[in-house]
Structures are given as C-alpha cells and as structure tokens.
Amino acid sequence: MSVRQRVRVGPASAATGSPRLARALWPVLLATLPACMQEAPLPPPVAEATVRVDAKARAHAELAHRVRRFLIDRGARGPVAADDERFRLGAFLRARADTHHFGPDFHARARVALAAPGAPTQADTALRALQATVDARLPHWQALVDYNASGRMRDDAGEEGRRLLPWAIAALDAIEAAAWRYVDAVESAPTRE
C-alpha cells in the first residue's frame, strides 16, 4: 500500500482548493515526509568546562578546608556552640581544647601554600595574618587548656583558671576572626579557566 493510497483526498481538500492543488502538493509532501519522520541527530555532548587550579590555589583550598573545621558557625546551635557560649560566660572548664588545629601540621601546610608557585593573592596576605595571630595568641589559649587538663583546679579552687580566662577568650576571638578572614579570602578567590 503506497502513501498515496493511504492518504485520501476528500472533502477537506476539496473545500480548501481544487483537486489540482492537492495533486500539486503531493510531491512536496512526499519529499518532506521521510525527512520529518527521521530522528533528529543528537547534539554533540557538552564538554564540561575545565578549571585549571594552580598549586597555590589548591594548597590554600586544602588548608582553608582544615581551618574551617575549627570555626564555629554562630548561627548554629550545636554542642560546640553551646560550650563556647558557656566558656564566654565564665565556665573556663568549657574552654575548647582543639588547639591542634594550629599545631605543626598547620604551620607546615601554611609554608607549602605560601611557597607554592603562583601569583601572590589575598589568601596569602590573610594566611600570613592568621599565622601571626596564631603565633602571638595561641600560647594564652593553650595555657588555659593545659591548666584544665592538669587538674590543678582542685589545688587552687579554680583561681588560676579565672585569671587565665579573659586572656584565653581574647586569644580565641582573635584566632577565630583571623581564621574567618582567611577562609573568606580563599573562598572568594576567582578561579581561572
């Protein structure tokens, strides 16, 4: 059965025009019919944009990821944030003991990030400021952590802890502020394509 036999020119074509017009359109219809029944070719796969990240940006990103674990999101209400709030209200026993975030590993990774090849960035400046803050302030925070771990509170009824508390709070605030500036500088750094 041919296409011509299946398609019947009936009253509709007669109403719109003459049978001659219908016969004249048949070659056009037959020429376009196979083309419209074929599947459209698939578009070529979209190539993903490749982002080149230099060694300096990669080192900063890895270090910022580690530093971010130290930071407390002030909007969150978790156990760490609650302990930090109690610490700031005078409970020196609730002092954070996670000074390990800024130990030898931090300093080694910071040296790698700063020495990595690449143009100096805002992250470099923020990292140097964080290092200076850690070097200056960490001993005050560490003194309270060591005091709490030593158990000397039983001997002096917490007198030394109360004396160390304001210094530890100031140190923790300064380190946290510098850490936020560093993480923000890394996260706002443009990527090159």
Question: How many Å is the maximal CA-CA distance in the chain?
Answer: 115
126 vs 78: which has the higher pLDDT? 126
How do residues 124-145 score in pLDDT, each as one tens digit? 999 999 999 999 999 999 999 9
Taking 3-state DSSP, the helix, strand and coil percentages for the chain, each rounded to the nearest 5, stand at: 70, 0, 30
Judged by average pLDDT, the poorest of 26-30, 102-106, 121-125 is 26-30
Q: Mean per-residue pLDDT for 68-80?
A: 77
Q: pLDDT-based confidence at 193, cuts 50/70/90?
A: very low
Q: Which tokens hold the place of 66?
A: 């580690």
Give the dihedral of Cα atoms 172, 176, 182, 184; nearest 10 deg. Answer: -170
Give the helix ranges, DSSP H, for 8-72: 11-16, 19-37, 55-68
User: Which residue's structure tokens are 């599947």?
Assistant: 39
Q: pLDDT-based confidence at 106, cuts 50/70/90?
A: very high
Q: Answer whether 64's CB lies under 8 Å from 126's CB.
A: no
Q: Domain residue spans in the chain?
A: 3-37, 55-187
Please state, rounded to an integer, the average pLDDT across all residues of the chain. 79
Q: What is the predicted pLDDT for the residue at 49?
A: 40
Q: What is the predicted pLDDT for the residue at 47?
A: 46
Q: Which amino acid, one-letter code, is at 152? A: R
Q: What is the predicted pLDDT for the residue at 192?
A: 54
Q: What is the predicted pLDDT for the residue at 87?
A: 76
Evaluate if residue 10 carries a pLDDT over 90: no
54 vs 129: which has the higher pLDDT? 129
Give the dihedral of Cα atoms 144, 150, 153, 159; nearest 10 deg. Answer: -40
Q: Mean per-residue pLDDT for 52-70?
A: 87
